[in-house]
Amino acid sequence: MKITMVGTGYVGLVTGSCFAEVGIDVTCVDIDQQKIENLKKGILPIYEPGLEEMVKRNHEKERLNFSTELSKNLDGVDVVFGAVGTPPDEDGSADLKYVLGVAHEVGQNMKDYLLMVTKSTVPVGTAEKVRTAIQEELDKRGVNIPFDVASNPEFLKEGAAVDDFLKPDRIVVGLDSDKAKNIMEKLYKPFTMNGHPVIFMDIVSAEMTKYAANSMLATKISFMNDIANLCEIVGADVNSVRKGIGSDRRIGPYFIYPGTGYGGSCFPKDVKALIMTADKNGYDMEVLKAVENVNERQKSVLFGKAMNYFDGNLKGKTFAIWGLAFKPQTDDMREAPSLVIIKKLLAAGAKVKAYDPVAIKETRRIMGDAIQLIDDQYETLIDADGLFVVTEWPEFKFPSLKIIDKLLKGKVVFDGRNIYNPEDMTAFGFDYFGIGRNAKRK
């Protein structure tokens, strides 16, 4: 089989490489010339465990090719995947200009039947817009070429994207023709053979499934952050509460960890987009609006604790920050809570010295010289008045408390991920503040 992946970002690059890994002939196309030139040389635009080796291996075997020209990569292709970005519009709706731009380009250049599959996260009704855009171009050309459209939303998680794609819980495919179903069955056979199910459904339901999944996960996080904040007020420990509820199989242990709010390129924009889809259809998504509000508030909780601890005055103080990426195992800084915390600290007149195992370059691109970025987690502590832990990278979980004690000038730790044991911290003489734990008061 031969496929063309349009958009070589997180989703397109991971998906394209994984399809190549199971023997499919893949061309990844992107309009970003630099990105494509770099990929040809084995330089990846993102950090994702296992991806670099897979890209290099399949590129060498010529199963994975890179190009900037979609028009030259449509002949003899069974499936064209659209994996371009769908950033939020001004009102929070998903901006479809890239998705529809690709559809127009396909319609302008296709010569034979192909299946146009949307992998980007797109609102209900987008597949029909894609179909119309392609047909419009065929009509302009005065040609009659059959084609199908399908929706195949992607559920990979950044930080575990390769593994998620190769071993998915499920593959969701929305389509409305037998021919399209046969093609998708063949394409995903290597995965179904290994026990990973494909769930076929109508196109609108597939589009809705992706937003419903992300909104449910975001809801779990905001719900737990609300519970954590209340735990603090009433003197309960959210860690015990989490274990208590997570052992109920109807709730489950996943996604019920409180923290500094969800971030990344998907949850914030997808929750917004679903709220907008509902608004446009005259329905009020009250739960999701609350989910968003709680999340915005949560991003400031750690900063609030510092303000409280230092009696409302952070001017001239220096803070160490461990963890910048919105979650571990990625360098993605989109909507990262760390950025909100840093901006608030700077606005309050504090200085910031930060470390992240992989997101330093990306943070420098965003923040410039506004903060000091340091390649060693312990060096950030020198002369700092306090430590913020914002991302739960494994290397932060068991640090040397002796070294922290020696280097950190101010003996206070604000743990946004509850990765430390409050008793251990107190035993070393630190004032310790987690999220939703019976916080030590000053």
Among 27, 65, 73, 120, binds ligand NAD (CB under 6 A): 120
Told to check if 29 binds ligand NAD by CB under 6 A, we report: yes
Rounded to whole angstroms, how far apart are CA atoms 29 and 4?
Answer: 7
What are the tokens at 140?
A: 């302009």
The four Cα atoms 197, 202, 203, 208 give a dihedral, to 10 degrees, of: -80
Tokens of 22: 């199971």
318 vs 324: CA distance, rounded Å = 17
Mark 183-222 with x for binding to ligand NAD (rule: CB under 6 A) and - for no binding. Answer: ----------------------------------------
Give the amino acid at 74: L
Near ligand NAD by CB under 6 A: residue from 3, 4, 5, 11: 11
Q: What is the dihedral of CA 429, 431, 434, 436, to 10 degrees?
A: 110
* Rg of the chain on CA atoms, in Å: 24
Stretch that binds ligand NAD, among 4-12, 58-66, 133-141, 366-374 (CB under 6 A): 4-12
Among all residues, which ones are annotated catalytic? 266
The kind and range of the H/E element at 387 are strand 386-389
Task: Find the binder of ligand NAD among 50, 101, 125, 399 (CB under 6 A).
Answer: 101
Contact pattern from residue 64 through residue 93 relative to ligand NAD, giving x for each residue in contact according to CB under 6 A and a dash for the rest: -------------------xxxx-------
Judged by beta carbon, residue 10 or residue 388, the one nearer ligand NAD is 10
Considering only residues 143 through 182, tell me which ones interact with ligand NAD, judged by CB under 6 A: 154, 156, 158
Binds ligand NAD (CB under 6 A): choice among 265, 329, 363, 380: 265
Cα 382 to Cα 353: distance, rounded to the nearest angstrom = 9
Q: Does 4 bind ligand NAD (CB under 6 A)?
A: no
Window contacting ligand NAD (CB under 6 A); options: 6-14, 193-201, 389-397, 403-411: 6-14
Residue 341 makes contact with ligand NAD by CB under 6 A: no
Closest to ligand NAD by CB, 7 or 174: 7
By CB atoms closer than 10 A (0-12, 13-18, 19+), residue 429 is exposed
* CA 415/CA 430 separation, integer angstroms: 12
Q: Footprint of ligand NAD on this chain (CB under 6 A)?
A: 6-12, 29-32, 35, 83-86, 98, 101-102, 120-121, 154, 156, 158, 265-266
